[in-house]
């Protein structure tokens, strides 16, 4: 059995769900819109000592902050966008394509910029040595990919659908299936690391990381859409997910 | 358009985001190489062993690097960007160059992004080089005296030390860059 005695002090899902509901009710009563994830969200226990207690300090970007590092074909091989061909055999699971565009806050495509992804395998197991989930490691799946966006801001990965995985935030805690995304903009200030989810996941309501985005419309922005036009006959299913970064500060005069 | 919200980098980025040479913007021991290092600490003063720090900086002449190649360094091109994972003691370390001023009178700084398990969104800050130029810096001047020092690195024998306190006593000033 995997129910460790060290979990004895942990909360139950019902207790965590109550905390999530209380925060959601308070937010709904306030009648304002909060687009970002909260840093201070106690139902996610690890955040309690790891969030700043003071407000972020406003700064006008200067110098280096108005630019982003440049990545190119010397950094990323096009084959790195296919997570299903990194070993000698086919990984287990539902093969799928995930594609979309990276846009800035003004709707302009983020061109030729780095996108990194990492994820669990179909059984919900990460390759990482600290993942103790007793699901099978898939020798044909590492779960790491990279690509550069094209001239219109498009990215595209071929992978397999990750499974949900258990974690120790509370007893019987399970994360909804997700793919981690790391995205660069054209400015330092636009840096984003986030997670993409799949439509209709029954674990959404129970997950304190997803629910830390307290606005329902804001958290729905992390859910990909099934897209039959991306699906390929007798090969793979397809999902589409666009990523919007914050606005840029450089004027057109400063563009490369 | 409304930005996509962030989420924590989680516990398992260690096999995905780090790469060989990630924290060595210049080869260790090369001319003018310095070390930028420090610890990431939580609200109880405990080290954060599962954080990732990204560094983005001007070159020694204050020029913003535009060269690619950060992921496969050639040993000669200064790309200005790198990343470093914290170790079991919460310590990160970069080998790099001291950045120059990007404009007349500007105070040189390293731009840093902080990610960690338990940190729901990335944080951004500046690590200024100590020196007279910090006295006239607009951002530093806008901070209460007690908090200003959290953004100024201190010199050590190999370069500079910049600790990042996520919460509590001496909490590092983290920045927002919204246009409104």
Show me where the domains of chain B are located: 5-165
pLDDT of residue A130 exceeding 80: no
Considering only alpha carbons, which residue of chain B is nearest residue A57? B175
The yes-or-no answer on residue A239 being catalytic is: no
pLDDT of residue B93 exceeding 80: yes
Q: Are A140 and A87 in contact (CB under 8 A)?
A: yes
State the pLDDT at residue A46: 98
The minimum CA-CA distance between B161 and chain A, rounded to whole Å, is 20
The yes-or-no answer on residue A226 being catalytic is: no
Residue among A43, A63, A101, A240 with most chain B CBs within 10 A, to mutate: A63
Nearest to B40 by CA among B146, B131, B113: B113
B contact residues 39-58, partner A, Cβ 8 Å cutoff:
42-44, 46, 48, 54, 56-58
State the pLDDT at residue A128: 79
The minimum CA-CA distance between B159 and chain A, rounded to whole Å, is 20
Q: Is the ipTM of this structure higher than 0.95? A: yes
For residue A57, the cross-strand partners are B175
pTM here is 0.96
Name the catalytic one among A41, A178, A197, A239.
A178
Concatenate the DSSP letters of all residues of A205-238 into one string.
GG-TTGGGS-SHHHHHTTB-EE-TTT-BTTTBEE
pLDDT of residue A251 exceeding 70: no
Handedness of CA B31, B75, B35, B70 (dihedral sign): positive
User: b/e per residue, A83-116, with b = 16+ CB within 10 A?
Assistant: bbeeeeeebebebbbbbbbbbbbeeebbebbbbb
The minimum CA-CA distance between B157 and chain A, rounded to whole Å, is 26
Residue A232 CB contacts under 8 Å (≥ 6 apart), including other chains: A97, A238
Q: CB of B17 within 8 Å of any CB in chain A?
A: yes
Alpha-carbon distance of A51 to B155, in angstroms, equals: 27
Q: Tokens 């050590």 map to which residue?
A: B156
B contact residues 104-143, partner A, Cβ 8 Å cutoff:
106, 109, 111, 113, 115-124, 126, 138-139, 142-143
Res. A252 pLDDT band, cuts 50 70 90: low
Alpha-carbon distance of A81 to A96, in angstroms, equals: 12
State the pLDDT at residue A4: 42
Nearest to A168 by CA among A57, A22, A2: A2
| B178 contacts on A by Cβ (under 8 Å) | 58, 246
* The CATH number of domain B5-165 is 2.60.130.10: yes
- Summarize pLDDT for A89-126 with one digit per residue, the tens: 999 999 999 999 999 999 999 999 999 999 999 999 99
């Amino acid at each position: 059995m995997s129910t460790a005695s060290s979990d004895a002090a942990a909360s139950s899902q019902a207790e965590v769900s109550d905390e999530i509901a209380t925060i959601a009710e308070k937010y709904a009563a306030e009648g304002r819109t909060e687009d970002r994830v909260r840093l201070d969200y106690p139902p996610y226990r690890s955040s309690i000592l790891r969030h700043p207690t003071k407000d972020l300090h406003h700064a006008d970007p200067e110098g280096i902050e108005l630019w982003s590092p440049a990545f190119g074909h010397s950094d990323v091989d096009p084959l790195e966008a296919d997570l299903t061909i990194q070993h000698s055999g086919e990984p287990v699971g539902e093969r799928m394509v995930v594609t979309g565009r990276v846009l800035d806050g003004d709707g302009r495509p983020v061109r030729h910029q780095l996108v990194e992804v990492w994820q669990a395998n179909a059984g919900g197991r990460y390759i990482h040595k600290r993942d103790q989930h007793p699901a099978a490691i898939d020798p044909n799946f590492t779960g790491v990919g990279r690509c550069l966006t094209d001239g219109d801001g498009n990215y595209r990965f071929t992978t397999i659908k990750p499974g949900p995985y258990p974690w120790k935030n509370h007893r019987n805690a399970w994360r909804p299936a997700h793919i981690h995304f790391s995205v660069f903009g054209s400015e330092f200030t636009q840096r984003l690391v986030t997670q993409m989810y799949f439509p209709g996941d029954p674990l959404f309501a129970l997950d304190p990381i997803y629910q830390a985005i307290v606005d329902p419309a804001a958290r729905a922005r992390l859910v990909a859409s099934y897209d039959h036009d991306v699906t390929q006959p007798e090969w793979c299913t397809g999902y589409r997910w666009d990523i919007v970064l914050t606005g840029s500060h450089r004027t057109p005069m400063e563009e490369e | 358009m409304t930005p996509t919200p962030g989420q924590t980098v989680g516990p398992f980025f260690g096999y995905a985001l780090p790469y060989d040479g990630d924290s060595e913007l210049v080869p260790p021991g090369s001319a003018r190489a310095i070390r930028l290092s420090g610890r990431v600490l939580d609200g109880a003063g405990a080290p954060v062993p599962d954080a990732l720090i990204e560094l983005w900086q001007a070159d020694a002449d204050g020029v913003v690097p535009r060269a690619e190649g950060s992921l496969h360094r050639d040993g000669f091109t200064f790309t200005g960007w790198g990343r470093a994972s914290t170790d079991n003691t919460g310590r990160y370390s970069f080998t790099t160059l001291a950045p120059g001023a990007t404009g007349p009178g500007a105070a040189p700084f390293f731009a840093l992004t902080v990610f960690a398990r338990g940190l729901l969104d990335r944080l951004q800050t500046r690590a200024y080089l100590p020196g007279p130029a910090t006295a006239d810096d607009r951002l530093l001047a806008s901070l209460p005296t007690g908090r200003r020092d959290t953004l100024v690195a201190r010199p050590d024998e190999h370069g500079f030390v910049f600790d990042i306190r996520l919460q509590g006593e001496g909490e590092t000033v983290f920045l927002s860059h919204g246009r409104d």
